[in-house]
Amino acid sequence: MTGIRIKMVSCETRSKLMHKAICVCLLAILLHPTTSSDLFRVGLKKRRLELDDIRVSRVIRKLKYSQQHPTTYQSLGDQDQVILKNYLDAQYYGVIGIGTPSQEFEVIFDTGSSNLWVPSSKCYFSLACYLHPKYKSTKSKTYTKNGKPCTITYGSGSISGFFSEDNVKVGDLVVKNQEFIEATREGSLSFVLAKFDGLLGLGFQEISVGNAVPVWYNMVDQGLVSEKVFSFWLNRDTEADVGGEIVFGGVDPAHFKGNHTYVPVTRKGYWQFNMGDIYLDNNSTGFCEQGCAAIMDSGTSLLAGPTTVIAQINHAIGAEGVVSAECKEVVSQYGEMIWDLLVSKVLPRQVCKELGLCVFGQENGIKTVVEKERSSVLCEVCEMAVIWAQTKLKLNETKEKAFEYVNQLCESLPSPAGESMIDCNNIENMPNVTFTIGGKPFSLTPQQYILKTGVGYTETCISGFSAFDLPPPTGPLWILGDVFMGAYHTVFDSGNLQIGIAEAT
C-alpha cells in the first residue's frame, strides 16, 4: 500500500518527537485508513507445467462452458487478501476453511462460475474423493442441514451432491451461514488429477446452480468488506513463493502500474464485456472491428477464442498444431511397422489396431479419460498415415518417398482447436498480440503468451491461444484466462458493474 515518508531530525527534544510522532500517526490514519495489515494472506503451492495438464485444462474449459445456464437472466473489515498458488502457471488456488473448527480446502477462485463446492464425507464411490480432504458436517458446531439435492451437469460428466450451510473462512473473513455443495460424486475429468479440492465461484448469482447465494454476495451483505470490489494479481513466475493474490474489498497498489481502464459488464452471469479489434504487431486481424463479446475468467488457463482468428494468431507466431506434431511422432515411431503391415497385406483398417494405437479400455475414471483423449488423437493420425502410405504403396513408390509425403501432409494438418506447439528458440522473433479494451491497447508479448513445459532437452513451448467455438446463445465468446490476467491486474467491481484492467507489476 502507499504511505507517507517522514524524515525525523535527531536534535528534537523527546517531548517534541513524541508530539510529532502522534501527529504523523494521526495524519497517516486520516490520509490512508486501509493498510497492508488489513490484507490477509494464505500460503500457496505450485508445480511445473506438463503438456498433458494443458490437455486436461482444455477439456475442463469445454466442460465448464458446456453447462446449461439459463438464457434469461434475473435481476438482481475493509480488505481481505488471499494469496494464491500458481499451479501449472495456469490454475491458481488458495486455502479456505469451512465449519467450526475450520476444515481446510484448497479451492480455485473462479470468476467463470458461481457456486462453492467441496468433497463430502458422504462421497463413497468416486476415486477423487479419496484423494482430497472431505467436509465432515458432524465435526462442525456451526453446520446447518439443508439437504437440497443438486447436479452440476457438464459436457461429459457431472458433479452431484446436496446443499449444506456453514461458516466459510476466506483469509480472516468469516462468512456466516454460507450455502455450498457437498459433492458426493465427482465423475468428471479434472478431479483425480487436480491439485485443488474444490471450487469457489466468483461469478454472478444468475449462473449459480440452485440459485445459491455466492460467497462474494454474502461478504458484501454481511458487511465484511467496505467496497463491492475484489481484484486479482496472478504471478506468472512459477519459481516464486507466492503464486498470486486476490484482494476482497479493494485493490493493492503494489500489484499494478498506472491507472485501470474500466469497461462495463454487458451481461450478468459471467464477467462479460465488449472487446475491440485484435492486432498482430500493428496489423489488424479484422475479426473484432465491430466488437466481440468477452469474459474475464480466472478459472481458465489459456486465452480462448473463435477458431477463425485463433488460427490466424497461431499461424503468425509459427505455432504447429499438436495433431501435426503427434502425426510426425506416429510416423517416426511406427512408420516402419505400418509399411511392413501394409506390404504383408494387412487390411488398412486393422493396421492401427495391430499397433495398439486404436484399442481403448472400458474403465471409467478421470485418468482413463485423460489417456483416452491422447489415445484418440494418436489413433486418428495413425489411420490417416495408413491411408496416405497405402496410396503411395499402390503407386509402387519407395518407402522413403512414401513417408516423405506423409510427413509433408502431417505438417499441413490444421489443429486450431487443440494445443499448438512453438519452437522455443524462436520466441524472440514472434509478434506481440494486442487486444483493444475500452478503446485502449493491451498487448501480450511472446514471453507472456507462450507457456513452457519440461526442462532441458524435454522443454516444450505451447501457444497460450486456444480455439474454442462456443455456440449461441452464450457464444461466440472470447475467454481471457490466466494468460491475459497474468499480464494485467484485474478489478471486478460488482457495485458499479465494471471490470478494471491495468499493467501488473
Calculate the alpha carbon distances from 246 to 39, 272, 392 in Å: 10, 19, 58
Max Cα–Cα distance, the chain, nearest Å: 103
> Can you give the pLDDT at residue 364?
42
Question: Catalytic annotation on 297?
Answer: yes
CB atoms within 10 A of CB 70: 10
* DSSP structural state of residue 47: B
**Exposed, middle or buried: residue 456 (CB in 10 Å: 0-12, 13-18, 19+)?**
exposed
pLDDT 10s digit of each residue in the chain, 505 long?
332 222 222 233 334 434 444 343 333 333 333 434 454 443 334 444 555 555 545 544 554 565 444 333 332 245 555 665 554 444 678 899 999 999 999 998 989 889 999 999 999 988 888 889 999 999 999 999 999 999 876 433 467 899 999 999 998 899 999 999 999 998 655 566 677 898 899 999 999 999 999 999 999 999 999 899 999 999 877 777 788 889 999 999 999 999 999 999 999 999 999 999 999 998 888 888 889 999 999 888 889 888 778 878 888 888 877 667 778 888 888 899 999 999 999 998 899 988 888 875 544 443 333 455 556 778 878 888 898 888 889 889 999 998 888 887 776 564 544 567 888 899 999 999 999 999 999 999 999 999 887 767 667 788 899 878 777 777 788 999 989 999 999 999 999 999 999 999 9
Q: By C-alpha distance, which of 452, 431, 155 is closest to 315?
A: 431
Q: How many residues does the chain have?
A: 505
From CA 450, how far away is CA 465, in angstroms rounded? 9
d(CA 58, CA 162): 27
Q: Where are the alpha helices (DSSP H) in 49-116?
A: 51-65
Strand pairing category for 433-437 and 278-280: antiparallel
Question: Rounded CA gap, 151 and 346, in Å?
Answer: 48
**Eight-state DSSP code of residue 37:** G
**DSSP labels, 150-218:** EEEEETTEEEEEEEEEEEEEETTEEEEEEEEEEEEEE-STHHHH-S-SEEEE-S-GGG-GGGPPPHHHH
- Integer-rounded Cα radius of gyration of the chain: 26
Check: CB of residue 229 under 8 Å from CB of residue 252: no
Q: Can you tell me the distance from the alpha carbon of 136 to that of 102, in angstroms, rounded to the nearest whole number?
A: 11
Cell 511392413 -> residue? 340
Whether 47-64+80-224 and 252-307+417-504 share one fold: the answer is yes
Q: Dig out the grid coordinates for 194 from the structure.
A: 487436480
| Domain boundaries along the sequence of the chain | 47-64+80-224, 252-307+417-504, 325-360+370-411
Assigned C-alpha cell, 139: 465435526
Residues 6+ apart with CB under 8 A from 417: 307, 466, 467, 468, 469
Cell numbers of 67, please?
Answer: 453447462
CA proximity to 55, closest of 475, 486, 375:
375
Residue 33 in grid coordinates: 485508513
What pLDDT does 86 receive? 55
229 in Cβ contact with 243 (< 8 Å): no
What cell numbers appear for 110 in the block? Answer: 473462479
User: DSSP letter at 112?
Assistant: T
Cβ neighbours of 445 (radius 10 Å): 14
The set of residues, in sequence order, having a beta carbon less than 8 Å from that of 444 and lying 6+ positions away, is: 303, 432, 433, 434, 435, 464, 483, 484, 487
Distance CA 414, CA 420 (A): 10
Active-site residue flag, 110 = yes
Give the span between the Cα atoms of 92 and 84, in whole angstroms: 6
- Distance, CA of 500 to CA of 505 (rounded, Å): 15
Architecture of domain 252-307+417-504: Beta Barrel (2.40)
Instruction: Write down the CATH number for the domain with range 47-64+80-224.
Output: 2.40.70.10
Catalytic residue among 38, 80, 110, 252, which? 110
C-alpha distance from residue 212 to each of 147, 168, 181, 240 (Å): 13, 14, 9, 36
The amino acid present at 438, given as its one-letter code, is G
Q: Is 346 exposed, middle or buried (0-12, 13-18, 19+ CB in 10 A)?
A: middle
Task: Please state whether beta strands 157-170 and 144-154 pair in parallel, antiparallel, or not at all (unpaired).
Answer: antiparallel
| DSSP-based three-state secondary structure for 332 | helix
Grid cell for residue 425: 528458440
Q: Is 62 helix (H, G, I), strand (E, B) or coil?
A: helix
CB 75: neighbour CB atoms within 10 A?
Answer: 5
**CA distance linking residue 183 with residue 40, whole number of Å:** 28
Please tell me which residue in 252, 297, 482, 493 is annotated as part of the active site: 297
For residue 61, what is the DSSP state? Answer: H
